[in-house]
Structure 1
């Protein structure tokens, strides 16, 4: 993991502290994903997603998308399109389809931004799940 600069291990990844190599890898990875998320996702969307994921109890939101619309209700139209992709990636990735991706790419050009948004959304959910693990 020497390819990425050293970073501080976020508190929600405390479960990794038992192994310096794993902790260092996750610290570096978290920093890289945060950087990619900041480049691809507006702050209002990141804040909205983090707030919702932090309140999430792990249940499958189901097949409908009404829950997504409720979560992103206060966002602007551009942010809603981005928020849909990020929320679905985080909590219901089986619902991400071509229409969701196309709506995102209409506002954010480049595969690097798409991959950054997908990585940030999925890792945000994974970090929440990690908080349910006992710290080592």
Structure 2
């Protein structure tokens, strides 16, 4: 099982207890494939796992908005974030929903034939740079699910790119269109299963403040829980360093950072000296998670106890910091029709 995971060892489903066991049980019921590594990699930090699962479930799997439309948005976000694992996974799920043309357009980063799907993919891509976001191509009633899906995948893309290898299937077999289609057909019944909204909410702790854009949707409760759990890094970073990181991401324009690491110099210079290895992981996760290296993680482990749970929390904090920046842009963008 460990071969897919770069830096953490997930909780073995056969030995899971408590909250992790409860989340795993719901994933087994509601996720199209068993034991998805995108969720298992968060299991060393159970409350982060529960909140991330809840947001994914309530935005993409549950609700009334068309599933194909939400998959188009998720695919667009994943393309913009350069997350090949998630791009391939969504193309297979769309195959399972019966739309081969949309599936292959996502896989190949092409414009879908269907104008509605094309607008949704383009909108998903544009959420990385919400200052240029077009009017939302979905009805206002479905906004919580579409916005929640976009934000969920801005978070998940970063977790995946930082902590997983890019292989969805052994040997990267999903790069073949034939394999993608076959995998989608095998998942078809599970993908089409009705998922009851709100069933993940009992897994969450507390009653965090729900964002206005979510209305009364369960998506809002799930997003607020993720914001609370992923935003809590405790003593892993000082308050001053957290402020430096947030300020740095606040000026991010959505572009992928230039090659090299000179763009990290200024914020790392401003961080507390003892925080630099952890701050580097957080900033990389927020802005370029695919550039997190073995040496980055090794330097952090050498400077701290280096527990898997702490690494997950740092990566989650970086992902959330980027997500909050994207969310702020989305709420300023043109509203849904």
TM-score (norm 2): 0.37
User: Paired residue for 1:7?
Assistant: 208
Taking structure 1 as reference, are residues 21 and 63 closer, same or farther at Cα in structure 2, changes over 3 Å only?
same
SS of 1:68's equivalent in the other structure is helix
1:1-136 equivalences in 2 (<5 Å): 1-4=201-204, 5-9=206-210, 13-15=211-213, 17-35=214-232, 37-109=233-305, 110-134=307-331
Deviations along 1:20-68, one digit per CA (max 9) or x if unpaired, are 3111111111111122x22432222211110111111111112210010
Q: Within 1, Cα distance between the matches of 2:259 and 2:270?
A: 22
Aligned residues: 131
Using the TM superposition, give the Cα deviation of residue 85 of structure 1 relative to its aligned residue in structure 2, in angstroms. Answer: 0.9
- Provide the aligned C-alpha RMSD in A: 1.8
Q: Within 1, Cα distance between the matches of 2:271 and 2:329?
A: 29
Taking structure 1 as reference, are residues 76 and 24 closer, same or farther at Cα in structure 2, changes over 3 Å only?
closer
Contact 2:240 2:272 in 1 (8 A): no
Give unpaired runs (5+ residues) of structure 1: none
Give unpaired runs (5+ residues) of structure 2: 1-200
Contact 1:84 1:100 in 2 (8 A): yes
Q: Within 1, Cα distance between the matches of 2:257 and 2:309?
A: 28
Deviations along 1:92-115, one digit per CA (max 9) or x if unpaired, are 112100110111122232111110
Contact 1:7 1:24 in 2 (8 A): yes
Contact 1:72 1:80 in 2 (8 A): yes
Larger Cα-atom Rg: 2
Deviations along 1:104-133, one digit per CA (max 9) or x if unpaired, are 122232111110000010111012112221
Using the TM superposition, give the Cα deviation of residue 89 of structure 1 relative to its aligned residue in structure 2, in angstroms. Answer: 0.8
Runs of 4+ off more than 4 Å: none
Contact 2:241 2:272 in 1 (8 A): no
SS of 1:72's equivalent in the other structure is helix
TM-score (norm 1): 0.85
Taking structure 1 as reference, are residues 21 and 45 closer, same or farther at Cα in structure 2, changes over 3 Å only?
same
SS of 1:6's equivalent in the other structure is coil
